[in-house]
Amino acid sequence: MKKFIIEESFVSYADIEIYAENKDEALAKYHRGHYSMSDYNISDYKEDYTLLAITEEGENQPLEVFNRESDTFIDINNTGGKY
């Protein structure tokens, strides 16, 4: 049995705890990534899943790539959508 990796994107939410003297300093640290991953608390809630691609394990190129804007199938292997 083969292993396939399905790539998807989704919307989620996170709270990041940043210690700073003021809002501007906090935003500057955020934009530079100057916070610990232990201060990054991601929500379990996720929505708007979008299929991006499917790749067979060990391969460098996806077997199929899906249009991120409209979820339209893009046939990169010219198979006509047949497997």
Whether 81 maps to a domain, the answer reads no
Whether 80 maps to a domain, the answer reads no
Pairing of strands 64-66, 4-16: unpaired
Whole-number pLDDT of residue 18 = 95
- The number of folded domains in the chain is 1
Whether 79 maps to a domain, the answer reads no
Secondary structure (3-state) at 65: strand
CA-closest candidate to residue 9, choices 71, 64, 57, 82:
71
Whether 69 maps to a domain, the answer reads yes
Whole-number pLDDT of residue 83 = 39
pLDDT tens for the chain, 83 residues long, are: 999 999 998 889 999 999 999 999 999 999 999 998 888 898 888 888 888 999 999 998 999 998 755 545 555 556 554 43
Whether 44 maps to a domain, the answer reads yes
Structural domain range at position 26: 4-74
Matching residue, tokens 């996720």: 46
Which tokens belong to 24?
Answer: 């501007």
